[in-house]
Structure 1
Amino acid sequence: MITLSSINKSFDGNRVLRDIHLTIEEGTVTALIGPSGSGKSTLLRCINLLEIPQSGELTIGIEQIKFAPNARIKGHDIRRISRQTGMVFQNFALFPHMTALDNITEGLVTVHKWDRAHARKRGEALLEKVGMLHKRNALPNTLSGGQQQRVAIARALAPSPAVLLCDEPTSALDPELSGEVVAVLRQLAQEGTTMIMATHDLRLAANIASQVVFLEAGEIVEAGSAKSLFTDAKKPRTAEFIASLSTALPDIGAI
C-alpha cells in the first residue's frame, strides 16, 4: 500500500501541492487527471523524491519518510524510497548512445549491483514482455516513439519496483503509436502491477484505472472509481472538466 498524508510542495513560494491525502492499494492503477498546472506531475515526482515535499508523510510498503519545513532529507533516505519506484517519463529519457537492452541493464548493474549476465537475462525477459525483444540491439534514434516508450517501461520495471509511476506516458505519441503503449500498460494492469499515472488521456484513465483522482490548483477535488467519476461526478468542477473533454471518452458503459 502507498499512502500520502498532508503532502505540501511549493516552488519559490508558489504552493503547487496543498495538503494531499491519498491511498493507493497494492495491485491497483490510479490515474491523476486535471488541467495543465494542476500538480499531477509534481505529485508523481514527490512520490519518487525527484522533488522533496516541504511537509507531510509518504509510505510505500514498509518504507516510510516524513518531511518537515527546513529539514534536510539524507541521501540514503532518498535512495531507500526511490528504489521502491520505477519512473516512465513523457519524453522516454533513454540513453541515446545505448542499445535498447543496455538502457535496461545499465541501472541494474551500476545502481543495483547486479551481475551483468543476470541483468541481461532480466532485460531480455522484459523486452519480450513489451514486444521489443527483436529490437534489443537497436539504438533509440532508430525506434519509433511507441517503441522507445515500451523500452522505457521495461527499464522502469527492471528492478521490480513496488510501484510504476507514469508521467503522461502517451502524450508525446500520435494515436496509432500511443495504442502500442496503452496495450502494454493494460497488460501490466491485468497482471496486478501497482501503477500511478498522470495523464491528459481520459480514454487511458477510463480503460485502465481502478481509481481516478481529479486535481486542480494542487488540491484533490474528487477521487473515486473511473465509472463513478466519469458518469456521476459529485463535485461540479469535476463534472465540468470531464464534460469539456467528453469527446475523448470511450463508451463508459464498457468500463
Structure 2
Amino acid sequence: MIELSHIEKRFGDNVILKDISLTIPEGTVTALVGPSGGGKSTLLRCINLLEIPTAGTIRIGEETATFQPGKKPSWQDIQKIRRQTGMVFQNFQLFPHQTAIQNVMEGLTTVLRWPQDKARARAVELLTKVGMAHKIDAWPSTLSGGQQQRVAIARALAPSPRVLLCDEPTSALDPELAAEVVDVLGKLANEGTTMVMATHDLRLASKIANNVVFLEAGNIVETGSSRNIFSNPAQERTKQFISTLNSGLSYDI
C-alpha cells in the first residue's frame, strides 16, 4: 500500500502541491489526470523523491519518510523509498550507448550488484514480457518510440519494485505506437502490478485505471473509481474536464 499524508511541494513561494493525502491499494492502477500545470507529474516525482516534498509523509509498504520545511532528508531515507519504485518517463530516457538488454540490466548490475548472468536472465524475461525479445541487442536509435517505451517499462520493472510510476507514458507517441504501450500496461494491470500514472490520455486512464485522481492547481478536486469519475463525476469542474474525452476513440486492449 502507498500512503501520502499532507504532501506539500513548494518552489520558492510557488505552492505546486497543497496538502495532498491519498491511499493507493496494492495491486491497483491509479491515474492522475487534470489540466497541464495541475501538479500530476510533480506528485508522481514526489512519490519516488525525484522531487523532495516540502512537507508531509510518504509510506510505501514498510518504508516511511517524513518531510519538514527546511530539513533535508538523509540519502538513506531517500533511497529506502526510491528503491520501492520503478519509473517510466515520457521521453523514455534510455541510455543511447547501450542496447535494449544492457539498458534493462544496468540498474541490476550497478546498483543491486547482481551477477551478469542473473541480470541477463531477468532482462530477457522482462523484454519477453513486453514483446521485445526479438530486439534485445538493438540500439535505442533503431527502435520506434513505442518499442523504446516498452524497453523502458522492462527496465523499470527489473528490480521488482512495489509500484510502477508512469509519467505521461504515451504522450510522446502517435496513436498507433501509443496503442502498443497501452497493451503492455494493460497486461501488467491484469497481472496485479501496482501502478500510478500521470496522464493527459483519458482513454488510457479509462481503460486501465481502477481509480482516478483529478488534480487542478495543486489540489485534489475529486477522487473515485474510474467508472464513477468517467461516467458520473460529482464535481462540476471534473465534468467539464472529462467532457474533453472523445468517446469515439478507444484503445483495443
Query: With structure 2 as the length reference, what TM-score do the two structures score?
Result: 0.97
Match of 2:215 in 1: 215
Equivalent residues of 1:16, 1:217 under 8 A apart: yes
Equivalent residues of 1:90, 1:172 under 8 A apart: yes
Instruction: Tell me which amino acid in the other structure corresponds to 2:23.
Output: T
Aligned length, in residue pairs: 251
2:118 and 2:68 map into 1 onto residues whose CA distance is 40
1:97 and 1:68 map into 2 onto residues whose CA distance is 39
Instruction: Tell me which amino acid in the other structure corresponds to 1:77.
Output: D
3-state SS in 2 of match to 1:244: coil
Q: Where in structure 2 are the equivalents of 1:33-182 lying within 5 Å?
A: 33-182=33-182
Instruction: Tell me which amino acid in the other structure corresponds to 2:178.
Output: S
Equivalent residues of 2:203, 2:245 under 8 A apart: no
2:250 and 2:96 map into 1 onto residues whose CA distance is 36
Instruction: Tell me which amino acid in the other structure corresponds to 2:197.
Output: M
2:241 and 2:17 map into 1 onto residues whose CA distance is 19
Equivalent residues of 2:99, 2:137 under 8 A apart: yes
1:69 and 1:84 map into 2 onto residues whose CA distance is 24
1:135 and 1:74 map into 2 onto residues whose CA distance is 39
Report the alpha carbon displacement of residue 243 of structure 1 after superposing the two structures with TM.
1.1
Equivalent residues of 2:28, 2:209 under 8 A apart: yes
3-state SS in 1 of match to 2:243: helix
Report the alpha carbon displacement of residue 244 of structure 1 after superposing the two structures with TM.
2.8
Instruction: Tell me which amino acid in the other structure corresponds to 2:220.
Output: I
3-state SS in 2 of match to 1:107: helix
Spell out, residue by residue over 1:111-130, the C-alpha distance to the aligned partner (whole angstroms, 9 max, x if none).
01111110000000000000
5+ long unaligned stretches in structure 1: none
Report the alpha carbon displacement of residue 250 of structure 1 after superposing the two structures with TM.
4.6
**Identical residues among aligned pairs (%):** 65
Instruction: Tell me which amino acid in the other structure corresponds to 1:179.
Output: A
Instruction: Tell me which amino acid in the other structure corresponds to 2:194.
Output: T
Equivalent residues of 1:202, 1:249 under 8 A apart: no
What CA RMSD, in Å, does the superposition of the two structures yield over aligned residues?
Answer: 1.1
CA gap of 1:10–1:245, structure 2 versus 1, over 3 A, is: same
3-state SS in 2 of match to 1:120: helix
Q: Where in structure 2 are the equivalents of 1:5-20 lying within 5 Å?
A: 5-20=5-20
Equivalent residues of 1:202, 1:248 under 8 A apart: no
